[in-house]
Structure 1
Amino acid sequence: MRPLLLLLLLSLAYPVMAQIFKYTDAAGNTAYSNQPPNGVDAQTVDLPPVNSIQRQLPSDTEQPAAGTRSRPTHNDYNVLELSGLPTAGVVRANNGTFTVDVLIEPRLQGTHLLRLLLDGQPYGQPSNVPSLQLINIDRGEHGLAVQVIDGERVVQQSPTATVTVQRAHKR
């Protein structure tokens, strides 16, 4: 089975190994072809290998020197925090609806999404928009945070901000 698989892979790679020929046509122009023309002196062209880069992932065992910050990976965000919250931490929302903004740098990458946490639990649908709305939130104290997620994996989480929701109460 393995020899058959190897033969199949080699046959797929065969067109990649095609030879290039250089020659001068009847008008005196230099021409290139994958087949040498009949009756013309053609030279083979040796192409350099294709450039490639090996991606190096940091080792889990590598530890940064004492007092230094580890180098951020491609998933790290320099800034991830909730913004647009009142400085006193009190949100007056008579119907319990308000919006929080997310400050993120650099901007959201690839398949990453933002997910709001309300009292430590996911709230609403993940989104790529850095403005998140909360609807009909009960009055009282709540913890808010935002996560950057990739599928179900949490890439990074903001610090939790404590807010107090004030709602009008009818008697």
Structure 2
Amino acid sequence: MRPFLMFMLLSLAFPVMAQIYKYTDADGNTAYSNQPPDGVAAQAVDLPPLNSVEPQPPSASPSEALSREQPHSAYEVLELTNLPTTEALRANNGTFTVSVMIKPRLQAPHLLRLLLDDQPYGQSSNVPILQLVNIDRGTHSLSAQVIDGENIVQQSPSVTFTVQRVHKP
């Protein structure tokens, strides 16, 4: 059985090592074949050696390699934008939006969460535009967190701002 198996494997390898011939057919077209045609001048074509790839030893999975190369806290930029810091924010009903600038893009399964006055605020989201509703007038601090489940991956610097609500009689 072993010699038969070896013969089969070798027979599969022979076509790979076959010679290629180039010739011009009766219509004047250039043609290639693995056998020289009868009655036509053909020249052997020298082919470059085949590319081969040596198998590499098994390595870590792509996610493990990514976590080694770029730790989860590797967001280059994480900051709040669209929030005035030198003047009062006028929001009569206390509702406004803030944007989170994050680079590179937020990676799954990470989510964004706001901290208003050092307390989690609202629903976590993967959208970098977040809305605050019915915020009391006065001075507040706000920051954004990147979270993975209950784990805090990274937190933006805190921004202090003042909400001004005008009450109409």
Question: Which TM class, normalised by the smaller chain length?
Answer: 0.5 to 0.7
Matches within 5 A, 1:25-44: none
For residue 109 of structure 1, report the CA deviation from its aligned partner. Answer: 1.0
For residue 49 of structure 1, report the CA deviation from its aligned partner. Answer: 4.0
- What's the CA shift string for 1:28-65, capped at 9, x where partnerless? 966xxxxxxxxxxxxxxxx964553335776xxxxxxx
CA–CA separation in structure 1 for the residues paired with 2:91 and 2:128: 20
Partner of 1:108: 106
Matches within 5 A, 1:145-156: 145-156=143-154
Question: RMSD of the TM alignment (CA)?
Answer: 3.1
Structure 2: gaps spanning 5 or more residues? 1-7, 17-52
For residue 91 of structure 1, report the CA deviation from its aligned partner. Answer: 0.8
Partner of 1:52: 58
Structure 1: gaps spanning 5 or more residues? 1-19, 31-46, 59-70
Q: Which has the larger radius of gyration?
A: 2
Partner of 1:142: 140
- What's the CA shift string for 1:64-84, capped at 9, x where partnerless? xxxxxxx96243111100001
- What's the CA shift string for 1:67-125, capped at 9, x where partnerless? xxxx9624311110000112414210000000000011111012110001100011111
For residue 148 of structure 1, report the CA deviation from its aligned partner. Answer: 0.3
Which is richer in helix?
A: 2
In structure 2, the residue corresponding to 1:23 is in which secondary structure? Answer: helix
Matches within 5 A, 1:1-171: 21=9, 23-24=11-12, 49=55, 51-54=57-60, 55=64, 73-171=71-169
Instruction: Indicate the percent of aligned positions where both proteins have the same amino acid.
Output: 58
For residue 170 of structure 1, report the CA deviation from its aligned partner. Answer: 3.2
**TM-score for the superposition, normalised by structure 2:** 0.62
Number of aligned residue pairs: 124
| Paired AA for residue 113 in structure 2 | R
Alignment CA distance shift 1:74-1:146 (3 Å): closer
CA–CA separation in structure 2 for the residues paired with 1:145 and 1:133: 13
